[in-house]
Amino acid sequence: YQRSCRTRMTMNAVKIFKDKEKFFIPFSFDYRGRAYPIPAFLTPQDTDFGKSLLKFHEQAFLTPEAEGWLAFQVATTYGLDKETMVKRQEWVKENIDLITRVATDPIGNICDWEKVSEPWTFLAACEEYYSTCIDCSRHYTDLPVAVDATCSGLQILAGLARDASTARLVNVLPGSEPQDAYKVIADVAKPHVPKHLAQYMDRKATKRTVMTVPYNAKPFSNRTYIRDAFVDRGLTYKGRTPEDYLKREMYASTGVIFSSEDLTVTVKAVRDAMDVIVPGPMSVMKWIEKEVGEAIKNGATELTWTTPSGFVVTQRLMKKVVETIELQLLGRCKIAVATEDSDKVDISHHKNATAPNLIHSLDASLLHLSALRFRAPLALIHDSVLARASDMGQLSDIVRQTYMHLFAEHDYLNDWASQIGAQSEPPIIGDLEPERVIESTYFFC
């Protein structure tokens, strides 16, 4: 029902703008510098369906390099985002008939594309590739092609800690194929989880935990992510809540049952594996939490820092004034509602929020500086950039050069430590040469 409602609202927006020559999408910055579109529909940060309806107003002439990037978009949206560039382009060459069927008769061949990774953007990519590279009825392209950071939180933390081992796992350092930190961490954790769960410890089981730990996700949320990943695989959770029983009925069962105690052991195994595999980021996060706690205890009421792009972040987190409201509807109940900020600093919130906000402010800074240098149509989705296929080579180079500028030419973690008045030296490993990101094919891919 929610998807149906969203789709109808999206199509209402289409009716308003479909006859316009062009329209603009205004963005705003949040307090960390991250860019968010102001409209709710027809934006680069829309659903797969909403994104698939967008094209850049200005077209670009199709070059041989652009053909490669369009092939990249087709294969990536199909679901080959973990394959090498060569394999993605080879897949497209081997599936010309599929692409043609989808592009020329999407309704009649819906079974060819409805179950792919990103069905609607895949459909849009097939139509663009068919028209420009197969049928050659168009010689210009205006389709947004997207490249994403590989676990941007770990990429940023690897740069701050100058941690080469982490940088290699998240494609900051060059390699012949994309690296997969989620799989490596799953492999390290596997011997330490309950035996009956070991065969299910793969990248899908660890992905959401590994992605969110840099943003200070705690073991409680880790449990939910791992539990849901196991349930998706057909395992049965021996839980007691209605939600747990609902999930048990929704998915086919493998006959394997796991308990709350099993989850506790598994979460610990994954977090311990992260301490081993990504030591720099984990140490930096612990150091940030400690120093922020000390700063607040010493009288700071807010934290302020300036990012490399010049954006000033002010983090002011106060405890809330809470009022209790008594309601009567089919019985009586009391609800505690936060009404306004008090004059007391929320030290716990500051400690939990600072590492995520520092990361967000730096990945925002990376895109600020990249966008200022890029002289062509551009769209942003947090740690992803979109451009026309003809411009993607240039944009990819600029993003790599900007990361190098942030972490090779500047020692930002020490700068940040000075800005918040840290009392101890940050835990910088120092074996990373950030300038090597220039050679990395898969840094943003």
Q: What is the pLDDT of residues 415-438, one digit of tens each?
A: 999 999 999 999 999 899 988 999
Question: What pLDDT does residue 82 have?
Answer: 87
Q: What is the pLDDT of residues 40-58, one digit of tens each?
A: 999 999 999 999 999 999 9
Q: What is the pLDDT of residues 112-154, one digit of tens each?
A: 999 999 999 999 999 999 999 999 999 999 999 999 888 889 9
Q: What is the pLDDT of residues 152-180, one digit of tens each?
A: 899 999 999 999 999 999 999 998 888 99
Provide the token pair at 411: 């020692």
Q: Which residues contact 227 (CB under 8 A, 6 or more apart)?
A: 237, 263
Rounded Cα gap, residues 294 and 3, in angstroms: 46
Provide the token pair at 280: 């720099």
Q: What is the pLDDT of residues 346-356, one digit of tens each?
A: 999 999 999 99
Provide mean pLDDT across the span 103-117: 96
Q: Are 332 and 276 in contact (CB under 8 A)?
A: no
Provide the token pair at 131: 């028209």
Provide mean pLDDT across the span 231-247: 68
38-52, 208-222, 249-263 — most confident range:
38-52
Confidence of residue 244 (pLDDT cuts 50, 70, 90): very low
Question: What pLDDT does residue 254 have?
Answer: 65
Question: What pLDDT does residue 240 have?
Answer: 47
Question: What pLDDT does residue 247 have?
Answer: 47
